[in-house]
Structure 1
């Protein structure tokens, strides 16, 4: 879900120590201020990590069928921001993060370990979303040509600032072969983030950061662990959440599962993390490849392979 942030250095520390005499109102039409607004939306104070939490419902959409409420979801992202510098693009920041989303039973709220696929009748193991890392490219006030980055989309409504962000995704599916340009199977999704923040927190530098609420919608292919094969349809996530003031504010369900199964997710990745990003699809491929390797050479071949 939401992308990773990097840990701070002196530049962030100075921003967090703004005095009343130095305070000002940020102008989103100015490239440097727009960058600061983005940082205040996503990052923690100084070198402290930031935690995003969200929860919501997950539906199946299949042509010719009513939509089905398959799961509920409970998720978090822990990130940090570090300053970066470029001779042409100026002073910016980069974000590094990890994120988890648990699939839960809509009736009981319990974390699902197995799920009976209503289309195939097969019971499959549930693989929760646990992506480490989810890092962003550096953000700067200037583009590669040294020109100001276009102003961010903000809408002021009284004491609130609205920040919509649509992220269309279309790239080779890690679970498919090398001929996707010819036969399809690219990963195709859209993620929509709508942030809402108090204007005074977001724009007045007397506040060291902001704590926005966020709506998250994702339309994507089926989760690979659902074992849907080539069946037509997609999965729709609809969740709401907020940036929290500490990890301790997460729901007990999430904290208990992280402690038991994902202990690294109590902290953000290191500031200099250069690992390639993880997705559900890359992590599922690793899982399947490991299981096949453990079963021996014959298991490495797909069913029906000559």
Structure 2
């Protein structure tokens, strides 16, 4: 669900691009085979040629957002974050729950401008309550919990992806795989990246996990095939999962300790803000109401946010433990 990681990987990361192009991945769904109600009736169905980059991208936009530029897609996700260290079994650490507000602006030549905003809270595993503080089970230190607050996560997507490899421009078509089974369509977005950590260990010794960030993002979505095949349907309702493997979060104050984290969560399109979980919605309305809407056109061209850049802009390095 965290589109910021995908944008970073697609636009800036050499290793991530190789992984994405080589694996030929981008978007799928849950194994559950429940049906969704069609959004309209009576329109002619035209099969999608997923080998055609323009048609593939249009289907991808439908399952992740909404082709109608006047509508904002409200996406929810929620699950558990696990710690993984050495030969230890995975340790459930904390819950995570959040929302993505995405709006699409179609441009000429099958190009789309994506306007996206992300917010997430961390929750108690037993009660589900949103946490302000958390006792790190590895260090026994109580730390302040910092929500994910990415105000701008915009992107330009097109049927032909162009990247610069050390001054050499490389292009490849947007043709990620889709699987269709009876009346369902499945899509998978999978990006594996290794890139320099903007949070340098010598400046952020307690917050930085190291000089290199290694992350994997895996999004799975399932929708009604009919919604992709009808032009009178601008968005395909989906259910799915988000899995992530990534470094310790800065606010956990793990420093360069061995290990990493795995996120396991469900996600879906809620249709409207009022359908978000009540506790999450009330918390956002009270403290972070600006994250309940997608970025406006005026944000186009401005720098994108990530959890690391936002943390660095709003916090100072913690002093060494015990000082």
Fold-level similarity (TM above 0.5): yes
SS of equivalent to 1:106 = coil
CA 1:21 to 1:229, structure 2 compared with 1: closer, same or farther past 3 Å?
closer
Q: 1:110 and 2:129 equivalent?
A: yes
CA 1:97 to 1:172, structure 2 compared with 1: closer, same or farther past 3 Å?
same
Q: Distance in 2 between matches of 1:143 and 1:114?
A: 42
Q: Distance in 2 between matches of 1:240 and 1:213?
A: 8
Q: Distance in 2 between matches of 1:272 and 1:224?
A: 30
Counterpart residue number, 2:173: 149
Q: Distance in 1 between matches of 2:45 and 2:140?
A: 61
Counterpart residue number, 1:28: 50
Larger Rg: 1
Q: Distance in 1 between matches of 2:123 and 2:308?
A: 20
Q: 1:139 and 2:157 equivalent?
A: yes
Counterpart contact for 1:3–1:96, Cα < 8 Å: no
Task: Write the deviation string for residues 122-174 of structure 1: whole angstroms up to 9, x where unpaired.
Answer: 111001111111222x2222455998824221011222111111111222212
More moved, 217-226 vs 116-125? 116-125
Counterpart contact for 2:45–2:226, Cα < 8 Å: no
SS of equivalent to 1:253 = helix
Q: CA deviation at 1:95?
A: 0.7
Counterpart residue number, 1:256: 282
Counterpart contact for 1:3–1:95, Cα < 8 Å: no
The TM-score normalised by the length of structure 2 is: 0.77
Counterpart residue number, 1:48: 71
Task: Write the deviation string for residues 242-273 of structure 1: whole angstroms up to 9, x where unpaired.
Answer: 11211111111111111111111111001242
Q: Distance in 2 between matches of 1:141 and 1:2?
A: 22
Counterpart contact for 1:81–1:271, Cα < 8 Å: no
Structure 1, unpaired ranges of 5+: 5-17, 293-298
Give runs of ≥4 in structure 1 deviating > 3 Å.
18-23, 142-148
Q: Distance in 1 between matches of 2:141 and 2:309?
A: 23
More moved, 279-288 vs 54-63? 279-288
Structure 2, unpaired ranges of 5+: 5-39, 163-168, 204-209
Equivalences, count:
272
1:1-306 equivalences under 5 Å are 1-3=1-3, 24-44=46-66, 46=68, 47-85=70-108, 90-136=109-155, 138-143=156-161, 149-176=173-200, 185-273=211-299, 274-289=301-316, 303=320
Q: Distance in 1 between matches of 2:182 and 2:295?
A: 37
Higher RCO (C-alpha 8 Å, min separation 6): 2
Q: Distance in 2 between matches of 1:157 and 1:251?
A: 31
Q: CA deviation at 1:229?
A: 1.3
CA 1:62 to 1:207, structure 2 compared with 1: closer, same or farther past 3 Å?
same
